[in-house]
């Protein structure tokens, strides 16, 4: 198992490095930051001074080596826009984003999986129809619309929660609810479909023939099998968490990483974009690693190959 | 005599199995040193347990997987020497029928479209003419042309296998590989397909390789049989003489394992125990670990195929076995 | 031998649609006896097993008839029934070890746990012909061949100490050499434990080998039932006879190719009027097209549902 995790970690590092290189090169070919930052009417002298200031006049390999040297020491440069330390920008906005996305994800799992299980067990019953109708609704209404509906109900009409901003925990409730509802919808639909498929397998029929009580069939025989595809699906969903919050953060004026990212891309703030993509990559790589480890733990076919 | 339709020389296919991250792949042979010849209109059966390499042999013959070693000649042309055009011609002159007719058919195409597809992609006929020929082909396999507009899910298993056979024969191939083509069918449908195969073969210039684990069916559809064990042919000969006097203990065990229709034959010890295990090849005869008749020599010297009374047998003791196989009497 | 099981006019149907998967199936089984059920796919032989084993698939229900145990009086206890299936590998839960599978069954049926359960699981594995039983307890089904998994299924069935073992096409997915081994194992276990056996197969050779009496099924009905020698050597129903003629012979002296039955099995929602076999039957006439024939005796313990049975 240690060898397995080690080999995965080596691969994760390789992914990180190649992403950093790729993003670095692509960003430097995607337009001149000097022009975008200073505006098209800036004098050539001013632009040249800007390039020298940020080291953009050096060759790309040279720039990358310098960047790497600093990055290893935790220095990701400064924002072109306001000179703030990129490290600070990220460490300030990430906790905000994680608050929304991680709590929404956990709530979505806690809501979606049991709902899916109940729907699968009571297939074609009223409960099943209710759960699935809610799920289809939650999945098909665009997230920003759900957000606006929530703002209307809870902030404008009932006046129990603030509509936007990010100063207190009460500001976090509506963004979390919006994001959780959307994810819970897809999780419950997937959990239901997976469990139904497992329940139709011959070994479940055989277990029923053995007289094993239904609750035990679900807990011991069906769920461990359904968990395997479910973990894969949750992994894919989790990788979209950071991206997905951009919309929610915009609707609720929540100053997370999403808002910063949109601004930085628009302004060509290379150091900020570069660092944020690296953060996204680390996040995705970590999720994939978790999924693979969980997968090996859940699936004996994978485990026995190690 | 003219050159055979199909010939394999020293055909070997090794599969590697990776056991660890950096471990050297373990070599598992699916077939080794197989020399076969098949003349035009000849019907060859290949039998053996699962894992004997019989399906791999079928795929090798059709060029669906490349051999590790050895050569395959079809109509005198080496597979290795075939150009893209040559392969195209080869595909027209050969075809494959597999076990599960439902998964072999496209659920979104009508039967007529699927049967005539071969004619269209090779530009052998116009759309109208190819439809006509497909309808005629359907009639030859015993289905009404009303089936042309149906979809696979609207047919029974037996009808689907007839459609698969019709599709395989529409280009009038010289060689067809049937890979467990009747194994999944009910006995009554199986009997229908066997009768159909016998009829079609009568009417056509067709040779085929019939791969199966069913020793009862194969006997009624082939002229010659090859028995495979762990990638090697251990006995081959005329179907009649092999069934009358099997010379290899593995052939004898296979035949003695078939349940007889005599209700008085009961409580019969199995002729051989265990199952085929590629991990156990250690030199000597590959069948030795399970053979009730193994002697010391079998452990040191691998028997080669040799002539024994008109059959080719790879066993040191081939001459010692009595004429007929009896249930329960094949245990040493 | 005391009566173990009586099935009377069993009907299983798809609710809401007029499709009867089992349409009045009646038979009985004595303790220690072996009954063979023969027929083609869809004839209801497996469904009969599922109904008795209390595991009808979702959406199907018993719509009539009765399954009674023992002497048939109310209060008769349900005998212990164990089942094995056609595809052993998919009938075993892929995430559980062989040891877990056997030990939980031993707890359920014999209240064995801990080391006792472990030892008994090892003994059972050895009994069904799996060597190195100790190390195999930690193995998963995907690490075993089909034949090995069928042995595991049989060991699991034995853990229940069944009075009746239902074997649904237990050797159909296996190689002929493995089939011979499993059939012999079943013969031995039957002699050792005295359990009754219901064996389902489309292979008359398997039925001939194991069964004491056999029932031939067609479209959800039993069309002939008799001691197995009668069914194999002297079948009365034209369908039973045709089914036997379909079996390709392995006897080198018999060159007769299998004789196909013309036509195909009708769909259950489109059954012909009268006897369901009449479109394929060379003997069909008159009454055959009006009513389905009742199962009537033609000899001792030999019943046939046919107006024109083949004479002995």
> Hey, what are A150's tokens?
């929530």
List chains adjacent to chain B, taking adjacency as at least 3 C-beta pairs closer than 8 Å.
Answer: C
Domain spans, chain C: 3-80+198-304
Residues in B closer than 8 angstroms to C176, CB to CB, are 49, 213-215, 254, 257-258
A143 and A275 belong to one structural domain: yes
Residue C55 has its nearest CB partner, among A201, A205, A224, at A205
The answer to whether the CB atoms of C252 and B324 lie below 8 A apart is yes
Kindly report, residue by residue over B267-297, the tens digit of the pLDDT: 888 989 888 877 666 688 999 999 999 999 9
Q: Is A272 helix (H, G, I), strand (E, B) or coil?
A: helix
Distance from CA of C82 to the nearest CA of A (A): 7
In a domain, B141, yes or no: no
Residue A78: phi, psi to the nearest 5?
-120, 155
Residue C142 has its nearest CB partner, among A205, A225, A301, at A301
- A299 part of contact set with chain C, CB < 8 Å: yes
- C53 part of contact set with chain A, CB < 8 Å: yes
Interface of A with C in 269-298 (CB under 8 A): 298
Report the pLDDT value the prediction gives residue A50, as an integer from 0 to 100.
81
Distance from CA of A207 to the nearest CA of C (A): 9
Pairwise CA distance, residues A279 & A20, whole Å: 10
Residue A12: phi, psi to the nearest 5?
-60, -45
Greatest Cα-to-Cα distance within chain A, rounded to the nearest angstrom:
85
Average pLDDT over chain C, rounded to an integer: 92
In a domain, B121, yes or no: no
| Nearest residue to B190 (alpha-carbon basis) of C36, C45, C172 | C172
Q: Where are the alpha helices (DSSP H) in B213-317?
A: 215-218, 239-244, 249-257, 296-300
Residue B188 has its nearest CB partner, among C187, C188, C243, at C243
In a domain, B271, yes or no: yes
In chain A, the residue whose alpha carbon lies closest to the alpha carbon of C51 is A209
- A98 part of contact set with chain C, CB < 8 Å: no
Domain limits at B276?
242-260+267-332
Residue C89: phi, psi to the nearest 5?
-65, -40
- Higher-confidence residue: B156 or C135? C135
Kindly report, residue by residue over B133-164, the tens digit of the pLDDT: 999 999 999 999 889 999 999 888 889 999 99
Q: Is the pLDDT of residue B22 over 60?
A: no
Overall number of domains in chain A: 2
The answer to whether the CB atoms of C258 and B190 lie below 8 A apart is yes
Residue C94 has its nearest CB partner, among A211, A220, A225, at A225
Overall number of domains in chain B: 1
Q: Is C74 helix (H, G, I), strand (E, B) or coil?
A: coil
Report the pLDDT value the prediction gives residue B18, as an integer from 0 to 100.
54
Look at the block and give the residue holding tokens 């995607």.
A30
At a CB cut-off of 8 Å and minimum separation 6, what does C120 contact? C106, C110, C112, C159
Pairwise CA distance, residues B231 & A248, whole Å: 62
- E strands present in B101-218: 175-179, 207-212
- B302 part of contact set with chain C, CB < 8 Å: no
Distance from CA of A268 to the nearest CA of C (A): 51
In a domain, A270, yes or no: yes
The answer to whether the CB atoms of B269 and C261 lie below 8 A apart is no
Residues in A closer than 8 angstroms to C93, CB to CB, are 203, 207, 221, 224-225
- E strands present in C70-195: 81-84, 164-168
- A124 part of contact set with chain C, CB < 8 Å: no
Domain limits at A126?
90-303
Pairwise CA distance, residues C92 & A300, whole Å: 13
**DSSP state letters, A49-96:** HHHHHHTTTS-HHHHHHHHHHHHHTT---B-TTT--BHHHHHHHHHHH
Pairwise CA distance, residues A105 & C241, whole Å: 65
Report the pLDDT value the prediction gives residue A60, as an integer from 0 to 100.
82
Pairwise CA distance, residues C40 & C45, whole Å: 8
Q: Is the pLDDT of residue C54 over 90?
A: no
Pairwise CA distance, residues B253 & B268, whole Å: 13
- Comparing A246-255, B131-140, C35-44, C274-283, the range with the smallest average pLDDT is A246-255
- Comparing A2-16, B226-240, C89-103, the range with the smallest average pLDDT is A2-16
In a domain, A83, yes or no: no
- B150 part of contact set with chain C, CB < 8 Å: no
Report the pLDDT value the prediction gives residue A81, as an integer from 0 to 100.
78
- Please, what sign has the CA dihedral across residues C227, C230, C235, C236? negative
Q: Is the pLDDT of residue B331 over 70?
A: no
**Residue from A213, A296, A300, A303 to probe the interface with C (highest C Cβ count within 10 Å):** A300
In chain C, the residue whose alpha carbon lies closest to the alpha carbon of B240 is C252
Q: Is the pLDDT of residue C76 over 70?
A: no
Q: Average pLDDT for residues C168-194, to the nearest whole number?
A: 95
Angle at C265 between CA C263 and CA C267, to 5 degrees: 125
- C55 part of contact set with chain A, CB < 8 Å: yes
A185 and A289 belong to one structural domain: yes
> Hey, what are A204's tokens?
């479940």
Q: Average pLDDT for residues C258-280, to the nearest whole number?
A: 92
The CATH fold assigned to C3-80+198-304 is Rossmann fold (3.40.50)
Report the pLDDT value the prediction gives residue A241, as an integer from 0 to 100.
79
The answer to whether the CB atoms of A304 and C94 lie below 8 A apart is no
How does pLDDT run along chain A (306 residues), one tens digit per residue? 677 778 878 888 888 889 888 888 888 877 777 777 777 777 888 888 888 877 778 888 888 888 888 888 878 888 887 888 888 888 888 888 888 889 999 999 999 999 999 999 998 899 999 999 999 998 888 888 888 898 899 888 988 888 887 778 888 888 899 889 989 999 999 999 999 999 999 899 888 888 888 899 999 999 999 999 999 999 989 888 777 777 788 888 888 887 788 888 887 788 888 888 888 888 888 898 888 888 888 888 877 665
Average pLDDT over chain B, rounded to an integer: 89
Residues in C closer than 8 angstroms to B262, CB to CB, are 208, 232
Domain CATH number, residue A287: 1.10.3720.10
Q: Is the pLDDT of residue B310 over 50?
A: yes
In a domain, A130, yes or no: yes
Q: Categorize the per-residue pLDDT at B97 as very low, low, confident or very high, splitting at 50, 70 and 90.
A: very high
Q: Categorize the per-residue pLDDT at C1 as very low, low, confident or very high, splitting at 50, 70 and 90.
A: confident
Q: How many residues does chain C have?
A: 312
> Hey, what are A278's tokens?
């690296």
Q: Is C210 helix (H, G, I), strand (E, B) or coil?
A: helix
- Comparing A140-144, B176-180, B298-302, C127-131, the range with the smallest average pLDDT is A140-144
Residue C134: phi, psi to the nearest 5?
-60, -50
- Higher-confidence residue: A261 or B321? B321
The answer to whether the CB atoms of B259 and C183 lie below 8 A apart is yes
Report the pLDDT value the prediction gives residue B332, as an integer from 0 to 100.
45
| Nearest residue to B110 (alpha-carbon basis) of B134, B137, B139, B141 | B134
Q: Is the pLDDT of residue B209 over 80?
A: yes
Kindly report, residue by residue over C231-241, the tens digit of the pLDDT: 999 999 999 99
Pairwise CA distance, residues B302 & B316, whole Å: 9
> Hey, what are A245's tokens?
């919050």
Determine how β-strand B43-47 pairs with β-strand B224-229: parallel
Angle at B39 between CA B34 and CA B44, to 5 degrees: 60
Kindly report, residue by residue over B172-186, the tens digit of the pLDDT: 999 999 999 998 888
Residue A202 has its nearest CB partner, among C87, C108, C140, at C87
Pairwise CA distance, residues C83 & C51, whole Å: 12
- B188 part of contact set with chain C, CB < 8 Å: yes
Residues in B closer than 8 angstroms to C247, CB to CB, are 187, 216, 261
- C160 part of contact set with chain A, CB < 8 Å: yes
Radius of gyration from C-alpha coordinates of chain A: 24
In a domain, A196, yes or no: yes
A207 and A265 belong to one structural domain: yes
Residues in A closer than 8 angstroms to C172, CB to CB, are none
The answer to whether the CB atoms of B275 and C178 lie below 8 A apart is yes
């Amino acid at each position: 198992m240690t060898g397995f995790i080690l080999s995965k970690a080596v691969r994760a590092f390789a992914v990180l490095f190649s992403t950093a290189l790729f993003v670095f090169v692509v960003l430097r070919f995607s337009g001149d930051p000097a022009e975008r930052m200073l505006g098209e009417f800036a004098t050539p002298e001013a632009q040249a001074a800007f390039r020298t200031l940020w080291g953009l006049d050096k060759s790309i390999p040279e720039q990358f080596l310098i960047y790497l040297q600093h990055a290893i020491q935790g220095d990701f440069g400064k924002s072109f826009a306001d000179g703030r330390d990129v490290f600070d920008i990220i460490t300030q906005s990430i906790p905000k984003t994680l608050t929304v996305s991680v709590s929404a994800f956990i709530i979505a799992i806690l809501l979606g999986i049991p709902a899916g299980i109940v729907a699968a067990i009571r297939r074609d019953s009223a409960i099943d129809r209710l759960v699935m109708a809610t799920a289809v609704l939650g999945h098909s209404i665009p997230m920003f619309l759900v957000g606006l509906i929530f703002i209307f109900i809870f902030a404008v009409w009932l006046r129990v929660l603030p509509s936007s901003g990010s100063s207190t925990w009460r500001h976090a409730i509506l963004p979390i609810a919006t994001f959780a509802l959307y994810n819970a919808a897809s999780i419950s639909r997937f959990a239901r479909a997976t469990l139904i498929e497992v329940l139709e397998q011959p070994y479940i029929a055989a277990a029923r023939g053995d007289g094993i009580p239904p609750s035990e069939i679900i807990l011991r025989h069906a769920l461990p099998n359904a968990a395997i595809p479910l973990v894969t699906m949750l992994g894919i969903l989790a990788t979209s968490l950071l991206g997905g919050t951009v919309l929610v953060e915009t609707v609720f004026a929540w100053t997370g990483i999403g808002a910063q990212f949109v601004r930085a891309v628009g302004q060509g703030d290379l150091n900020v974009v570069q660092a944020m993509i690296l953060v996204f990559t680390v996040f995705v790589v970590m999720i994939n690693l978790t999924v693979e480890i969980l997968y090996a733990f859940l699936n004996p076919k994978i485990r026995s190959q190690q | 005599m003219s050159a055979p339709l199909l010939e394999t020389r020293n055909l070997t296919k090794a599969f590697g199995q990776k056991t660890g991250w950096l471990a050297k792949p373990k070599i598992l042979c699916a077939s080794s040193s197989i020399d076969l010849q098949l003349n035009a209109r000849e019907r060859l059966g290949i039998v053996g347990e699962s894992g004997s390499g019989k399906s791999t042999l079928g795929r090798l013959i059709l060029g669906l997987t490349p051999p590790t070693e050895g050569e395959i000649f079809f109509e005198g042309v080496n597979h290795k020497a075939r150009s893209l055009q040559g392969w195209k011609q080869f595909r027209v002159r050969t075809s494959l029928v597999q076990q599960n007719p439902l998964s072999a058919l496209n659920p979104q195409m009508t039967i007529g479209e699927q049967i005539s597809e071969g004619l269209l992609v090779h530009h052998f006929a116009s759309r109208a003419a190819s439809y006509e020929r497909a309808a005629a082909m359907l009639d030859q396999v015993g289905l009404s042309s009303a089936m042309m507009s149906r979809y696979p899910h609207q047919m029974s298993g037996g009808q689907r296998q007839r459609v698969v056979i019709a599709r395989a024969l529409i280009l009038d191939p010289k060689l067809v590989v049937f890979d467990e083509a009747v194994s999944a069918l009910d006995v009554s449908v199986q009997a229908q397909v066997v009768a159909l195969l016998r009829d079609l073969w009568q009417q056509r210039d067709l040779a085929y390789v019939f791969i199966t684990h069913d020793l009862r069916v194969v006997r009624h559809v082939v002229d010659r049989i090859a028995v495979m064990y762990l990638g090697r042919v251990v006995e081959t000969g005329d179907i009649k003489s092999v069934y009358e006097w099997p010379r290899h203990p593995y052939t004898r065990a296979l035949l003695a394992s078939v349940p007889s229709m005599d209700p008085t034959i009961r409580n019969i010890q199995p002729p051989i125990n265990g199952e085929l295990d590629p991990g156990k090849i250690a030199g000597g005869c590959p069948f030795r670990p399970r053979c009730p008749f193994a002697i010391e020599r079998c452990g040191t010297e691998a028997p080669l195929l040799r002539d024994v009374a008109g059959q080719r047998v790879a066993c040191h003791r081939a001459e010692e076995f009595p004429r007929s196989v009896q249930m329960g009497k094949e245990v040493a | 031998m005391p009566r173990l099981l009586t099935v009377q006019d069993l009907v299983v149907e798809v609710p809401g649609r007029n499709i009867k998967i089992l349409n009045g199936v009646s038979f009985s089984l004595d303790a220690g006896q072996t009954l063979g059920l023969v027929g083609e796919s869809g004839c209801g032989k497996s469904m009969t097993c599922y109904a008795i084993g209390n595991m009808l698939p979702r959406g199907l229900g018993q719509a009539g008839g009765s399954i009674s145990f023992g002497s048939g009086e109310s209060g008769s206890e349900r005998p212990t029934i164990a089942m094995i299936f056609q595809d052993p590998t998919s009938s075993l839960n892929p995430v559980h070890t062989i040891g877990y599978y056997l030990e939980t069954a031993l707890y359920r049926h014999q209240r064995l746990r801990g080391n006792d359960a472990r030892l008994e699981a090892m003994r059972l594995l050895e009994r069904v012909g799996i060597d190195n039983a100790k190390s195999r307890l930690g193995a998963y089904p995907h690490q075993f061949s089909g034949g090995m998994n069928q042995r595991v299924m049989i060991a699991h069935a034995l853990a229940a100490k069944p009075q009746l073992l239902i074997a649904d096409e237990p050797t159909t997915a296996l190689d002929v050499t493995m089939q011979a081994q499993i059939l012999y194992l079943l013969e031995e276990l039957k002699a050792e434990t005295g359990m009754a056996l219901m064996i389902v197969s489309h292979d008359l050779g398997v039925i001939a080998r194991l069964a004491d009496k056999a029932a031939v099924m067609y479209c959800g009905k039993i069309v002939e039932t008799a001691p197995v020698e009668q069914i194999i050597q002297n079948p009365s129903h034209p369908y039973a006879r045709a089914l036997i003629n379909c079996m390709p012979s392995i006897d080198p002296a018999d060159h007769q190719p299998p004789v196909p039955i013309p036509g195909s099995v009708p769909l259950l929602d489109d059954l012909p009027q009268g006897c369901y076999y009449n479109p394929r039957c060379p003997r069909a006439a008159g009454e055959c097209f009006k009513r389905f024939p009742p199962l009537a005796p033609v000899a001792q313990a030999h019943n046939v549902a046919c107006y024109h049975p083949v004479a002995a």
